[in-house]
Amino acid sequence: MKKNEKPIYITQPLLPNLNDIELEIKEIFESKWITNQGIKHDLLEKKLETVLNVPNVSLFNNGTIALLTALKALNLPIGSEVITTPFTFPATPHCISWNELKPIFCDIEPENMTIDTDKIEQMITPNTSAILPVHVYGFPCNIKKIDKLAKQYSLNVIYDGAHTFSTKIKNKSIGTFGDITMFSFHATKLYNTFEGGCLTYNTNGLKEKIYNLRNFGIKNEEEVVDIGINGKMNEFQASIGLLNLKLFKKEQKKRSKIKKLYIDQLKDINNIRIPQMPKNTTDSYQYFPIVIKDSYPITRDELYEKLKKYNIYTRKYFYPICSDYEPYTNLDSSSKENLPVANDLKNRVLCLPYYGNLEFEIAYQICNMIKKFGGG
């Protein structure tokens, strides 16, 4: 097998046409309005409400600030516990900690690697105020069980939906579940505004609270009513978002073809597993993970290194897991005994290059290498 001349990365950002960007920038320059809830910002919020099929959207300069604000907006008691998963990007528990709350790690279920809803209840204490589940790789959490537990114990639910842009469950938008859902619009995501994010929520009463929190707590020219932060999305980000709204469905169609190729080529390899999307769920096409079994001749890390020698850059999402990070190792919930599935899968999952412009020839090469190194 020949080494690729150019590196093949895990993803490529969805980018609008340069001429279209130039026209958008020209409009911004003519308006002289480049930030602070401008025309394009407000237009993007409205369009996202339609695209995501949700009643409320609040835009942010990035997903992390959005999630920080979501937790703040719900007025959770300082020092209370928020149950989450260690199998995620560090921003998830960091946002909990920055809000002076305590992350409590719950193990994940082995198939789709989302939070194990059968283990949440045993972690609930009188000090628990919320659950923060993560829709990992685009696989949705068990919404029904989480909703039941939240009602039973009067808990708030904030979903990290960074990987699930446009996902639906039984034709219902994933952004309508729980109290608030955060979506990330980072350049690595299916839909991006270069950097950015948003919150979606059903309760109209949260709109003003979130608006104030993302704008320094400023209500109007003469009133500061809350201790806020600067989470505003600028007009340049919003312009990219407006243009990419016209492109993301085409990108999903392209990725669906790559996914089909991967599945067709890898499905008969007995020593790897391809996680499956649950029934009645639309795929966001964010990532394509495979799980390396014990019977595969080499470890996940060895496969990662071998592919890298051919200029193919996969990602070990998520390794290490959040409970391994120094700020969280002292938590009782971080113990390996509490997180056996997460600690096992952190050494097995490998996300393959996955984007619309990935050449079929390269995708075939990746599959053939996985077969070869696996003894096939």
**pLDDT tens digits, residue range 254-281?**
999 999 999 999 999 999 999 999 999 9
- Quote the pLDDT of residue 375: 73
Q: Which of 218, 245, 272 is the last residue of a domain?
A: 245
What letter does residue 76 receive in the DSSP assignment? Answer: P
Q: What is the distance between the alpha carbons of residues 131 and 119, in angstroms, rounded to a whole number?
A: 12
The answer to whether residues 313 and 9 touch, using CB atoms and an 8 Å cutoff, is yes
pLDDT at 2: 79
Same domain, 256 and 127: no
Return the half-sphere exposure (C-beta side, CA atoms, 13 A cut-off) of residue 149.
Answer: 23
Assess whether pLDDT exceeds 70 at residue 376: no
Tell me: do 90 and 181 sit in the same domain: yes
- The answer to whether position 355 is within a domain reads yes
d(CA 31, CA 41): 13
Averaged over 284-308, what is the pLDDT? 97
Pair 158, 254 in one domain: no
CA pair distance 190, 252, nearest whole angstrom = 8
313 and 188 assigned to the same domain: no
Residue 178 is assigned to a structural domain of this protein:
yes
Q: What's the structural domain count of the chain?
A: 2
Q: What is the CATH number of the domain that holds 27?
A: 3.40.640.10
Range of the domain at 138: 18-245
Please tell me whether the peptide bond between 353 and the residue prior to it is cis, using omega within 30 degrees of 0. Answer: no
- Residues 151 and 273 placed together within one structural domain of the fold: no
For a pLDDT cut of 90, what percent of the chain falls above it?
A: 97
* Secondary element (H or E) of residue 351: strand 349-351
Please report, for the chain, how many H helices and E strands are present, in that order.
12, 14
Residue at which a domain ends, from 212, 245, 278: 245
- Amino acid letter, residue 372: K
Do 269 and 238 belong together in one domain?
no
Residues 6+ apart with CB under 8 A from 247: 14, 16
Task: Give the C-alpha separation, 162 to 199, whole Å.
Answer: 10
Burial grade of 261 (CB within 10 A; 0-12, 13-18, 19 or more)? middle
Q: Is position 366 within any domain?
A: yes
**DSSP per residue, 149-168:** HHHHHT-EEEEE-TT-TT-E
Q: Computed from CA positions of residues 84, 86, 87, 91, in that sequence, does the dihedral angle turn out positive or negative?
A: positive
Provide the pLDDT for residue 204: 86
Backbone angles phi, psi at 173, to 5 degrees: -60, 135
Q: State whether 270 and 366 are in the same domain.
A: yes
Residue 8 lies in a domain: no
Is 219 within a domain?
A: yes
Residue 296 has pLDDT above 70, yes or no: yes
**Beta pairing partners, 157:** 131
- Is the domain of 135 the same as that of 222? yes
Share of the chain above pLDDT 70, in %: 99
CA 284 to CA 181: how far, in whole Å?
15
Residues ≥6 apart with Cβ < 8 Å to 127: 79, 80, 81, 102
Provide the pLDDT for residue 234: 98
Structure tokens at 322: 């959040």
Q: Does 241 share its domain with 255?
A: no
pLDDT level of residue 320 (50, 70, 90 thresholds):
very high
Mean pLDDT for 305-314 is 97
C-alpha 56/C-alpha 36 separation (Å) is: 19
Torsion region of 79: left, alpha or beta (phi above 0 gives left; psi -120 to 50 gives alpha): left
Is 289 part of a structural domain of the chain?
A: yes
Q: What is the mean pLDDT of residues 128-152?
A: 98
Asked if 256 and 338 sit in the same domain, the reply is yes
Asked whether residue 11 is domain-assigned, the answer is: no
Rounded Cα gap, residues 114 and 108, in angstroms: 5
Q: What is the dihedral of CA 314, 352, 137, 375, to 10 degrees?
A: -110
Same domain, 179 and 252: no
Q: Directed axis angle between helix 39-51 and helix 235-245, to 10°?
A: 30
User: 341 Cβ partners below 8 Å, 6+ apart?
Assistant: 107, 108, 109, 110, 116
- The yes-or-no verdict on residue 12 having pLDDT over 90 is yes
Cα dist from 42 to 49, 234, 251, 309, whole Å: 11, 11, 25, 46
Q: Is residue 139 predicted with pLDDT exceeding 80?
A: yes
CATH number at residue 360: 3.90.1150.10
pLDDT in tens, 28-71: 999 999 999 999 999 999 999 999 999 999 999 999 999 999 99
240 and 253 share one domain: no
